[in-house]
Amino acid sequence: MPQGESHLLLNNLRKHFGGQEVLKGISLAIPAGQFVAIVGHSGCGKSTLLRLLAGLEHSSAGSVRAYGEPLATQQQQSRLMFQDDRLLPWKTVLENVGLGLQGDWQEQARAVLTEVGLAHRADAWPSQLSGGQRQRVALARALIHRPRLLLLDEPLGALDALTRLDMQKLIERLWLQHQFTVVLVTHDVAEAVQLADRVIVLEQGRVGLDLPILLGRPREASCTAAATLEQRILQQILAQQAPEPVIRPSHSGVRWAL
């Protein structure tokens, strides 16, 4: 896949919540069209980083530029997909895909449903679909906007293993076809190596490893080169202690863990 121009430039990005510094100076250049996976211990700051890229959080310091412009001016070109599909149960599949669109959106919505293999369920209700199908609808709802940046926050985490493999193939196919930039947060190191051009290990808010995945496509999950890369990433993660949960006193006097 051709990659050249920088899409995202993160410069010394920091984020704290109260006294807790969650991102401690992240600097990255992400070329247009690159597929980046972010892995790391629970609580190391992966979702916070993604939420900053989606414009759902503001950084405490540092900057993110998209195509040379402040990220905030480019936000309409990105879409975020979560582990839960966030479909509206009182709207049909087609209406969910066209949510918020004006004018003659139905044809476009049917076209993206075809791309995700669900054109035949356009008139179904979300409750009539399987978990994998609902995630396909969520993907179609993102794709209808033709995003240049697709942000994926563990979107396959709740799916069974076979559905997950199907979804991985679908995401890879659509990415190759449309050439958007992807930032995927995942707990699954094999999934990261299977899909990404580059895997970043976050360690307590810092980049601990930035590893290019120089494997051809389509990829064989069981090939030795992939297994070696997975091993390298796992070693890096396991060498780090998981972040200590932050215990804060609540107003009621009960202590709770973040």
Ligand X SMILES: Nc1ncnc2c1ncn2[C@@H]1O[C@H](COP(=O)(O)OP(=O)(O)OP(=O)(O)O)[C@@H](O)[C@H]1O
For ligand X, the closer of residues 46 and 121 by Cβ is 46
Smallest gap, in angstroms, from Cβ of residue 237 to ligand X? 11
For ligand X, the closer of residues 112 and 151 by Cβ is 151
Contact residues for ligand X (CB under 6 A)? 17, 22, 40, 42-48, 246, 258
Q: Dihedrals φ, ψ of 138, to 5°?
A: -60, -40
For ligand X, the closer of residues 22 and 201 by Cβ is 22
Smallest gap, in angstroms, from Cβ of residue 175 to ligand X? 22
Smallest gap, in angstroms, from Cβ of residue 46 to ligand X? 4
For ligand X, the closer of residues 43 and 208 by Cβ is 43
Residue 122 one-letter amino acid:
A
Residue 105 one-letter amino acid:
W
* Alpha helix ranges (H) inside the chain: 46-53, 93-97, 106-115, 131-143, 161-178, 189-195, 224-238
Q: How far apart are CA 115 and CA 177, in angstroms?
A: 10
For ligand X, the closer of residues 17 and 61 by Cβ is 17
Smallest gap, in angstroms, from Cβ of residue 119 to ligand X? 33
Burial class from Cβ neighbours inside 10 Å (0-12, 13-18, 19+) for residue 59 reads: buried
For ligand X, the closer of residues 42 and 130 by Cβ is 42
Q: How far apart are CA 179 and CA 220, in angstroms?
A: 21
Smallest gap, in angstroms, from Cβ of residue 37 to ligand X? 13
Q: Which residues of 146-161 are buried (b: 16+ CB within 10 A; e: fewer)?
A: ebbbbbbbbbbeebee
Rounded CA Rg of the chain:
19
Strands (E), the chain: 6-17, 20-31, 35-39, 61-66, 69-70, 78-81, 149-153, 181-185, 198-203, 206-212, 247-249, 255-257
Smallest gap, in angstroms, from Cβ of residue 18 to ligand X? 7
Are the CB atoms for 149 and 66 separated by under 8 Å? yes
For ligand X, the closer of residues 27 and 42 by Cβ is 42
Smallest gap, in angstroms, from Cβ of residue 47 to ligand X? 3
